[in-house]
Chain A
Amino acid sequence: MPMTRPLISVSGLYKQYLVNVPVLKDLNFSIESGEFVAIMGHSGSGKSTLMNILGCLDTATAGHYYLQDRDTATLSSDELAMLRNQLIGFVFQGFNLLPRSSLLENIALPLLYAGKSKAERREKALLMLNRVGLAEFGERRPNQLSGGQQQRVAIARALVTDPKLILADEPTGNLDTQTSEDIMKIFQDMNEEQKITIILVTHEPDIAAHAKRMILVRDGQIESDQTT
């Protein structure tokens, strides 16, 4: 048992949408700060639901989810919004960029909700855009970029508030193999260099292979939990 408490601690977690049809059944696990975890499973296995709960987008029906020692069930929607803003960065399969806003505006948006000044927002957004290698495209709209480029913008947005945890839901699902490798490289780098905890949801074994720990979910339960 390490001296510090784990970043994520889940105990007896249940989730059901319909009565008597649980999607998640009695999940128990913890994730330490700095881990790179892949959550695998077929569609319908409940891995996306788990992901949404870990990301504080959804709440559990029963059981406890502690994020940095805070029981998320007791937090108000504003407190959850603050957690998502400051502690968590999301990367989605469909990129989820705002189509009407420029890349810089998209990246700066989390800082706006964090209450940062205009100058600070711009400076930080430029820095992040530069880091994902798209510095010259700052004023473009998302639909003027390729899928891989859009996903890099989404990663820049996720990282702009210096989160402890990145949740990536099928981040390479819409990308070709080469681009997928590039994106996964970025994840690996940030895990190794910045010690950011990464939770990756995927059903592709090659993608999951980049992670150091693999949790296999089947029918709402953990089937295996291996560290490679």
Chain B
Amino acid sequence: MIIGALLGEGWAAMLANRMRTLLTMLGMVFGVGAVIMMMAIGQGAELMVNESIASMGSNLFIVLSGSTSAGGIRQGSGTVPTLTLADAQAISELPEIAAVAPNISNAAQLIYAANNWSTQVSGTTPAVIDVRDWQVVAGEAFKDSDIRSATRVLLIGQTVVRNLFGDENPVGKIVRVKNSPFLVVGVLAQKGQSLDGRDQDDTVLVPITTAQRQLFGNQFPGMVRMIMVKAKSAEVMAKAEQEMNELLHTRHRIHADKDNDFTIRNLTAVAQAAASTTEAMSTMLGAIASVSLLVGGIGIMNIMLVSVTERTREIGIRMAIGAKNRDILLQFLFEAVMISLVGSFIGAALGVACAYFYSQINDTLVVVTLSSVLLAFGVAASVGVFFGFYPARKAANLKPIEALRFQ
């Protein structure tokens, strides 16, 4: 039988029982709508997590200096400054490493005009811009020359800008940190919350030498608390970690049977865990929604079985005038698939609309991808074929004379 004729017959059959067709379709409408909406919400959540991971900087390690141990009581990481600027320099020369930013930080009170604000002051190098993928939106970053001469300049985060300056442009202004005047040379881009909810914008950056010599006076010149390291790519993370380990072992002359006086932490691993959690959640949402597709499919099968019984005589007439089993099979299969496809089309529109309203109401990110719509359509068509096949085969296998005699 010809496709055009099959479509025409299917359409006519759908119109013949409008209410019933509509109710049968509802199963598919809600199924497909739910799948698309759930996937949109899930993918939106994934995107948000990925954005906050990206805000941290990608392919990142943090090397922390060791812990003190006095009389068997061991303090936390970073309590003994065992890492030096020279260590940072040595790590940056490893082939897998893209950039290295040593860091020494502490809380300090900042004063500008009548305002004051306590924040995290981090001494670091210009490489931090690269390591943390952090843009300077106004002014410019301090330079290597500022590190050499330990100048009193600072880069200021958005939260600090808001609290000290309000609407004023901070670039070129003088801020007092621990009673020393610092020139604001640049403003850092907004980064938002980190994965653990910390405000990443509540910070100022100063040259590391300035921090060491002038702010957080230290008995060991050149010591740093931690070193942020960015590897060249995700693939070389493991190798980079191993090489840093070996390098620091050698540089710190640690014997094989002694504890390390440093800790290397892979931040990407933490981020990946968070990402895979949301991914698992979004998959689960999709899976739960798919169950309704299954239910919709069973609804179609139910109605098709009723329809085959009702139209037994019609099937008999068609067979008497020459319809082959295949013709009858295709006719009913087409009808089932058409109901399912029209239903999923409406469902897709409904799902996209609901996802949009959901994002408006809850002010969250939802992402409707073409692949999720196509997937929903593909599944709906398969559901139509799968659940339409049994009733269609039942119709096709009727004996002509029995079908014709059916009252």
Interface residues of A (CB under 8 A from B): 52, 55, 57-58, 77-78, 81-82, 84-86, 90, 96-98, 100-101, 109-110, 112-115, 118, 157, 161
**B334, chain A: closest CB distance, angstroms:** 14
With both beta carbons as reference points, the residue of chain A lying nearest to B320 in the complex is identified as A90
Inter-chain contact A96/B318, CB cutoff 8 Å = no
Distance between B10 CB and nearest chain A CB, rounded to angstroms: 12
Residues of B within 8 A of A100 (CB): 12-13, 16
- Tell which of B5, B319, B401 touches A52, judged by Cβ atoms closer than 8 Å: B401
Provide the residues of chain A in CB contact with B1, threshold 8 Å. Answer: 112-113, 115
Complex Cα–Cα for A58 and B319 (A): 12
A57-B404, A113-B1 given; A90·B12 CB < 8 A? no
Bin chain B's interface residue count.
20 to 34
Q: Is the CB of B401 within 8 A of A85?
A: no
Given contacts A57-B400, A57-B404, is CB(A85)–CB(B325) below 8 Å? Answer: no
List chain B residues, Cβ under 8 A from A112: 1-2, 5
Check A98–B314 contact: CB distance below 8 A.
yes
Give the complex CA separation of A90 and B323 in angstroms.
13
A101 to B400, CA, bound (A): 20
**Please, could you name 5 A-B residue pairs with CB atoms under 8 Å apart, sorted by A?**
A77-B325, A78-B326, A81-B324, A90-B320, A96-B320
Residues of B within 8 A of A (CB): 1-2, 4-5, 12-13, 16, 313-314, 317-327, 399-401, 404
In the bound complex, CA of A57 to CA of B324 (Å): 12
Residues of the A chain whose Cβ atoms lie less than 8 Å from the Cβ of B399:
58
B-side binding surface: helix, strand, loop or mixed? helix
Contact among B13, B321, B325, B326 for A84, CB-based, below 8 A: B321
- Given the known interface contacts A96-B317, A100-B12, A109-B318, the answer about A81 and B323 at a Cβ–Cβ threshold of 8 Å is yes
A57 neighbours in B (Cβ, 8 Å) = 319-320, 400-401, 404
A84 touches B320 (CB 8 A): yes
- Complex: how many Å from CA A55 to CA B319? 11
Further 8 A-B residue pairs, CB within 8 A, beyond A90-B321, A98-B317, A100-B13:
A52-B401, A81-B323, A82-B322, A84-B319, A110-B321, A113-B322, A113-B327, A161-B322
* Given A81-B324, A84-B320: A58 and B4 interface contact (C-beta under 8 Å): no
Contact of A101 among B4, B12, B321, B323 (CB under 8 A): B12
> How far apart are B284's CB and chain A's nearest CB, in angstroms?
45
Closest to A157 in B: B321
Give the docked Cα–Cα distance between A101 and B5 (Å). Answer: 12
Given the complex of chains A and B, what is the CA–CA distance between A114 and B327 in angstroms? 11
A85 partner residues in chain B, CB cutoff 8 A: 321-322
What residues of chain B lie closer than 8 Å to A90, measured between beta carbons?
A: 320-321
Give the Cβ gap from A170 to chain B, nearest Cβ, in Å: 14
Looking at the complex, which one of B2, B314, B318 makes contact with A115 (CB distance below 8 Å)? B2
Q: Are B317 and A84 in contact (CB under 8 A)?
A: no
**Bound Cα distance A78, B2 (Å):** 17
Q: What is the CA–CA distance of A90 and B319 in the complex, to the nearest angstrom?
A: 11
Closest residue to A55 on the B side, CB-wise? B320
Residue of B nearest to A78 (CB): B324
CB closest chain-B residue, reference A49: B401
**Closest-CB distance, B135 to chain A (whole angstroms):** 65
Question: How many whole Å from B300's CB to the nearest CB in chain A?
Answer: 20
B127 to nearest A CB, angstroms? 74
B residues within 8 A CB of A113? 1, 318, 321-324, 327
What is the CA–CA distance of A114 and B321 in the complex, to the nearest angstrom?
A: 10
